[in-house]
Chains A and B, each alone.
Chain A
Amino acid sequence: MSKTWQGHALAGAIRRIYPDATLDSSDSDVWISPDNIPTVMQLLRDDHQFRFDLLSSVTAVDLISHFEVVYHLTSLPRNATAVIKSKCGFGRESPEIPSVVDIWRGAELQEREIWDLMGIIFQGHPNHKRIMLWEGFPGHPLRKDFATYEQSIVDDDQLRIPESVSEEYESRNTD
Chain B
Amino acid sequence: MTTQLRTEPITVNLGPQHPSTHGVFRMRVTFDGEEIVDVEPIFGYLHRGSEKLAEERTYVQVVTLTDRMDYVGSMLNNQAYMLSVEKLCSIKPSPRGVWLRMIAAELQRIASHLVAVGFLIQDLGAWGTPLIYTMREREKILDLFEMLCGARITNSYLRPGGVFMDAPEEFWPAMDKLLDELPARLDELDELLTANEIIFSRTKGVSVLTPEQMINASITGPMLRAAGVDWDLRHRDPYDFYDQVSFERPLHHAGDNFARYWVRIQEMRESIKIIRQCERLIEPGPVRPHHDDVPWLVRPPVGDAYAAIEHSKGELGFYLVSDGSISPYRCHVRAPSLINLTLLRDMLVGELLADMFVSFGSVDINMGEVDR
- The residues of A that contact B315 with a CB separation of less than 8 Å are 56
Smallest CB–CB gap between A107 and chain B, Å? 8
User: Which B residues contact A (CB, under 8 angstroms)?
Assistant: 43-44, 47, 49, 51-52, 56, 215-220, 229, 231, 236-238, 243, 304, 306, 308, 315, 317, 319, 321, 329-330, 332, 334, 338-339, 341-343, 371-372
In the complex the two chains form, is A76's CB within 8 Å of B231's CB? yes
- The residues of B that contact A1 with a CB separation of less than 8 Å are 237-238, 243
Can you list 14 A-B pairs, Cβ within 8 angstroms, ordered by A?
Answer: A53-B216, A54-B215, A54-B220, A55-B218, A56-B218, A70-B304, A72-B319, A72-B334, A105-B216, A106-B216, A106-B342, A108-B342, A132-B372, A133-B44
Of the listed residues B237, B238, B243, B315, the one surrounded by the most CB atoms of chain A closer than 10 A to its CB is B237
- The residues of B that contact A106 with a CB separation of less than 8 Å are 216-219, 339, 342
In the complex the two chains form, is B334's CB within 8 Å of A2's CB? no
A109 interfacial by beta-carbon distance below 8 Å: yes
In the complex the two chains form, is B52's CB within 8 Å of A142's CB? yes
- The residues of A that contact B236 with a CB separation of less than 8 Å are 2, 79
Known contacts being A76-B229, A110-B339, A142-B51, is A104 close to B218, with CB within 8 Å?
Answer: yes
A141 interfacial by beta-carbon distance below 8 Å: yes
A-B CB contacts (within 8 Å), total count:
89
Total number of A residues with any Cβ neighbor in B under 8 Å: 33
In the complex the two chains form, is B44's CB within 8 Å of A105's CB? no
Tell me the bound Cα distance from A58 to B319 in angstroms: 10
A61 interfacial by beta-carbon distance below 8 Å: yes
Given contacts A106-B217, A106-B218, 17 further A-B contacts (CB under 8 A): A1-B238, A54-B218, A56-B334, A57-B306, A57-B317, A57-B334, A72-B319, A104-B217, A105-B218, A106-B339, A113-B338, A132-B43, A132-B44, A141-B49, A142-B330, A148-B52, A148-B56
Contact of B332 (CB < 8 Å), options: A55, A59, A108, A141:
A59
Known contacts being A83-B306, A105-B216, A106-B216, is A132 close to B52, with CB within 8 Å?
Answer: no
Tell me the bound Cα distance from A134 to B367 in angstroms: 17
In the complex the two chains form, is B319's CB within 8 Å of A59's CB? yes
- The residues of A that contact B237 with a CB separation of less than 8 Å are 1-2, 79, 81
Smallest CB–CB gap between A28 and chain B, Å? 9
Contact of B306 (CB < 8 Å), options: A72, A130, A142:
A72
In the complex the two chains form, is B321's CB within 8 Å of A132's CB? no
- A72: nearest residue on chain B (CB-CB)? B306
- The residues of B that contact A107 with a CB separation of less than 8 Å are 218
A41 interfacial by beta-carbon distance below 8 Å: no
- The residues of A that contact B215 with a CB separation of less than 8 Å are 53-54, 76
- The residues of A that contact B342 with a CB separation of less than 8 Å are 105-106, 108-109
Contacting residues of chain A (100-148) with chain B, CB-CB under 8 angstroms = 104-110, 113, 117, 130-134, 141-142, 148
- A146: nearest residue on chain B (CB-CB)? B52
Smallest CB–CB gap between A57 and chain B, Å? 4
In the complex the two chains form, is A132's CB within 8 Å of B371's CB? yes
A96 interfacial by beta-carbon distance below 8 Å: no
- B306: nearest residue on chain A (CB-CB)? A72
In the complex the two chains form, is A72's CB within 8 Å of B317's CB? yes
- The residues of B that contact A134 with a CB separation of less than 8 Å are 44
Tell me the bound Cα distance from A118 to B338 in angstroms: 17
- The residues of B that contact A62 with a CB separation of less than 8 Å are 330
Contact of A57 (CB < 8 Å), options: B47, B49, B332, B341:
B332
Interface string of A60-76 (1 = CB under 8 A from B): 01100000001010001
Known contacts being A76-B215, A83-B306, A105-B342, is A57 close to B319, with CB within 8 Å?
Answer: yes
- The residues of A that contact B51 with a CB separation of less than 8 Å are 117, 142
- The residues of B that contact A61 with a CB separation of less than 8 Å are 304, 321, 329-330
Smallest CB–CB gap between B321 and chain A, Å? 5
Tell me the bound Cα distance from A76 to B233 in angstroms: 11
Interface string of A26-57 (1 = CB under 8 A from B): 00000000000000000000000000011111
In the complex the two chains form, is B216's CB within 8 Å of A70's CB? no
- B330: nearest residue on chain A (CB-CB)? A61
- The residues of B that contact A131 with a CB separation of less than 8 Å are 43-44
